[in-house]
Structure 1
Amino acid sequence: MEQNEKANRAIHDGEEVQKIWSWGAGTDGQLGTGKLEDELLPQLLHLPSLTSSGPISLLACGGAHVIALSSGGRVLTWGRGTSGQLGHGEMINSLYPMPVTSLQDYFITHVSAGWSHSGFVSDGGCLFTCGDGSFGQLGHGEYRSHCSPVRVSHFLNEHVKQIACGMRHSLVLLEGSQVYAFGSGKRGQLGISMDRIKSVSLPEITHGLEDVKIISIAASGDHSAALSVDGHLYNWGRGFIGSPDSHFPQFSSSSFLFTRAALGWNHALALTGDAEVFMLGGNYHGVLGDLEKMRPANQLPDSRGAILEKVPSLDGVKVLQIAAGAEHSAVVTENGEIKTWGWGEHGQLGLGNTCDQTSPQAVSLSGNTNRGASFKVYCGSGFTFAIMHPCDLF
């Protein structure tokens, strides 16, 4: 609480407490620059309204929209809104961050952005969703879209901790570590049945994790993933390169203990407790780095080819944070450097060009003069955000 009060005082006194950059695909206004165009280099944003409720503690980047969560529990959204995913009560795009006013009576603690839907979790364990519902991914028992957040009634007597929104499906983690899923299930990403399921519109429990203490969940494309308290990585849904679809969670028998996971459309990143980065699947657009030098780590049971690989270009580099876009990757190193690689067609790598990169490249942030700051990086489908948190506040 003292940190929040300090941050808010600094903002009202006109001090600079946080910097935010964006780059990549911007034709739906998702970059927050006020322009409808791609940016090949990081753009320093000047948006006082974005931090008016305190510093931004979390960003969620979707297909072409962004959700910002402030340290004060307030939510702002911008970018593509044609399915209602911005939660503003209408289905139009927004060039600039606007508050989600219907959530102002709640203290929001977690948010997630899918391809065209959004999820919000309050400190009281309430879950709200909005946006495209044509595959049942909003969890309301119907296939309608909603332009304002609607509470998911299935969890009225439960305490929701997290939501993870994929392309057309959603995962929910309850306080008791149970995982539920709803939406499209054609690639097994719901983990609810061995049969091919088109979609479900009400939450159903994901099988195979009932006796596992899950601490975080992730979803992107037709993939789902979860991390257990003992560091095991579970994944299910669409098969990665060389592996079939999995209708139930599979776990890595790796000796490494993972602390974070990030999913793209064809690849996954996993961060170990020793600050090393491993990848799973995806040799498209170089998202796996230097393919010829990859060293297999462990093969997932029964996956017939899906192998965790260490990213060789990051050998000896301690990584603090990972992020995955549709087909690009980003990391933040111990010394505060941001590195990106993979698909670069829209400038989402922030290197000043539209080239793909097969190994991590350093990104230069204009206006970055605070060498004592820490960074967080976030990836959308073809765009990237970076936030600088001054160390005296966080």
Structure 2
Amino acid sequence: AAGALAWPRCRDHMPLTALPVDLLARIALALPSALDAARLHATSRLFSEPVPPSAPGGEPAPSVIEQALRRRAMDRRVALPTALPEGETWARQLCFEQMVCEASPPAVIVAGSRHSLFICRRGRLLSCGSERVEDEPEESEADGAEPDEGSEAYPGLLGHGAGVVMLTTLTLLPSSLLAVTTVAAGSGHSAAITTDGTVWSWGHGTSGKLGHGDEANQYRPKPIAGFAGGRVCKIAAGDHHCLAIDSNHEVWSWGHGGDGALGHGDKLRQLCPKRVERFSGQRVCAIAAGSWNSYAITASGSLFTWGLADGGCLGHGDLVDVYSPKQVEAFASRRVCAVAGGALHSLAATTDGAAWSWGYGASFALGHGDDAHQMKPKQIAALAGERVVAVAAGTYHSLARTAGGEAWSWGGGDYGVLGHGDEANRPLPRRIEALCGVRALAAGASHTFALTGDDDAWSWGRGDGGALGHGDRYHRSRPKQLCAKGEQLCLECTERVCRGTSYFLHCSRP
């Protein structure tokens, strides 16, 4: 057609086999996920076979995929394994460990029982919610009424200092806590890790769950000095305990030990972090905390659980509490890449994309179509056609994220926590229609967060304590965006003081 652009035709075509190895590695490095790298490794000899030596008699170099995965791990500051599990190759092991990292990336938004935490793009921490135990009103956004304030329960929960007991908008913490990389929220306490590997904690100090050697409350973030100089890279928080992984991939725990959740073989509380000796000599890749129990995934893809066993939530086929990490035998022939714990139920995803659940089945939290308890992991049949890569669990609700960026939810629907526009329970997983391109999910006790696209944040569920961050105290049954598309959480804002204790978040055009 007249005026149409005429694209030049290439006379010469260069096959992939003619490209230098470094360029091929860059191509593999640009793949969106470890799953894509695994697929390429399984289908292309050019990328999966060792690179021939450059000189006669020399040693072959690692495969293109292995080189790309090693470079990706170094770019993300992930320590590479020094040894392989029996029967594994380097390429397959690196693919698996990066699948685990992608299933549980550094948490930039988390939800506790009645508060929420968010890391902005500049590494500053924000919080919202309430220290008080709220009454349980029926108000929603449409009712135009707000609940009573209730009574103070968890002092210091928000991290803004004494006297700040409720914030309905995500608000910058007025502290020296900078360069935050990941964060965790328990029911009455919080913890964060900074770029230098230091762990900070604050909130309700009962049972020593803050890790400072005492049970004192902390109204502002305080660094934990109990890791023997080691750098911490991952952290998880239960109702009254914490877990951490250091740069040597060893597991630490502290706080309430009455149900065995600390994994030290006893019921003792720990006021300071203590290494979990059961994992000595093993490489632990991921951790998670339920309300009263704990989870860990090792480099071999094995899942270990310990703590309170009510409802069968440990997955060992019985109701016996476990005081030292014990492998879940149901996954002996599979590799687990993601795990999450609710109040008394558990979720997992395996490398084949299957989703699993077990434990207390009340409110349909397991997603099997009924409310029966499951003593051992059972695959969620309703998600069999989806490739699940990550899971999240609240008190009675459950969530899954697929490789295609979809979010699914099921279980108890109180306060609209499932995101489907109502408060109905869902016995089977249902896709949340309002969301697409989901990159992360976070489940609190009765509220939920999602990150989509360019870190756009959404929240829904119980809002009477301000934990949804929308500037009010309404429940919401559908996801509502915290920051409009094209805007970012901006720190070069006019400093506004709330009784001399906190700064307020502003959204501004970049």
CA drift of 1:104 comes to 4.7
Q: How far apart are the structure 1 equivalents of 2:223 and 2:254?
A: 14
SS at match of 2:215: coil
* Conserved 8 A contact 2:413-2:422: no
**Which entry has the higher C-alpha Rg, 1 or 2?**
2
Q: Determine the structure 1 residue equivalent to 2:453.
A: 334
Q: Determine the structure 2 residue equivalent to 1:380.
A: none
Q: In the superposition, relative to structure 1, how do residues 289 and 72 fare at CA in structure 2: closer, same or farther (>3 Å)?
A: same
Identity %: 27
Query: Superposition pairs for residues 205-354 of structure 1, below 5 Å?
Result: 205-239=327-361, 240-241=363-364, 242-253=370-381, 254-290=384-420, 306-314=427-435, 317-354=436-473
Q: In the superposition, relative to structure 1, how do residues 18 and 205 fare at CA in structure 2: closer, same or farther (>3 Å)?
A: closer
CA drift of 1:168 comes to 0.8
1:78-127 deviations in Å (ceiling 9; x for gaps): 11111111111111111111111111521212111000100111122211
TM-score by length of 2: 0.63
CA drift of 1:3 comes to 8.6
CA drift of 1:267 comes to 0.8
Q: In the superposition, relative to structure 1, how do residues 135 and 352 fare at CA in structure 2: closer, same or farther (>3 Å)?
A: same
Q: How far apart are the structure 1 equivalents of 2:76 and 2:260?
A: 39
TM-score by length of 1: 0.81
* Conserved 8 A contact 2:416-2:423: no
Greater relative contact order (Cα < 8 A, sep 6+) = 1
SS at match of 1:111: strand
SS at match of 1:322: strand
Q: How far apart are the structure 2 equivalents of 1:342 and 1:121?
A: 31
1:28 to 155, 166, 170: 155
CA drift of 1:224 comes to 1.5
SS at match of 2:434: helix
1:365-385 deviations in Å (ceiling 9; x for gaps): 9xx7568xxxxxxxxxxxxxx
Q: Determine the structure 2 residue equivalent to 1:189.
A: 313
SS at match of 2:331: coil
1:127-163 deviations in Å (ceiling 9; x for gaps): 1110001111111111111110111122223222222
* Conserved 8 A contact 1:74-1:104: no
SS at match of 2:415: helix
SS at match of 2:358: strand
Q: How far apart are the structure 2 equivalents of 1:252 and 1:109?
A: 31
* Conserved 8 A contact 2:342-2:396: no
The alignment's C-alpha RMSD in Å is 2.6
Q: Determine the structure 2 residue equivalent to 1:138.
A: 262
Q: How far apart are the structure 2 equivalents of 1:32 and 1:221?
A: 24
Q: How far apart are the structure 1 equivalents of 2:305 and 2:420?
A: 35
Query: Superposition pairs for residues 131-210 of structure 1, below 5 Å?
Result: 131-193=255-317, 195-197=318-320, 199-210=321-332
SS at match of 1:103: coil
Q: How far apart are the structure 2 equivalents of 1:47 and 1:104?
A: 24
* Conserved 8 A contact 2:414-2:423: no
1:46 to 164, 174, 179: 174
SS at match of 1:312: coil
SS at match of 1:147: strand
CA drift of 1:221 comes to 1.1
Q: How far apart are the structure 2 equivalents of 1:158 and 1:119?
A: 16
Q: In the superposition, relative to structure 1, how do residues 135 and 370 fare at CA in structure 2: closer, same or farther (>3 Å)?
A: closer
CA drift of 1:313 comes to 2.5
* Conserved 8 A contact 1:260-1:271: yes
* Conserved 8 A contact 2:254-2:269: yes
Query: Superposition pairs for residues 62-141 of structure 1, below 5 Å?
Result: 62-141=186-265
Q: In the superposition, relative to structure 1, how do residues 75 and 308 fare at CA in structure 2: closer, same or farther (>3 Å)?
A: same
CA drift of 1:364 comes to 4.4
Q: In the superposition, relative to structure 1, how do residues 330 and 110 fare at CA in structure 2: closer, same or farther (>3 Å)?
A: same
Q: How far apart are the structure 1 equivalents of 2:423 and 2:280?
A: 50
Q: How many residues align?
A: 344
Q: If each structure's strand is expressed as a fraction of its own residues, which one has the higher value? A: 1
SS at match of 2:278: helix
* Conserved 8 A contact 1:341-1:357: yes
CA drift of 1:226 comes to 1.6
Q: If each structure's helix is expressed as a fraction of its own residues, which one has the higher value? A: 2
Q: Determine the structure 2 residue equivalent to 1:299.
A: none
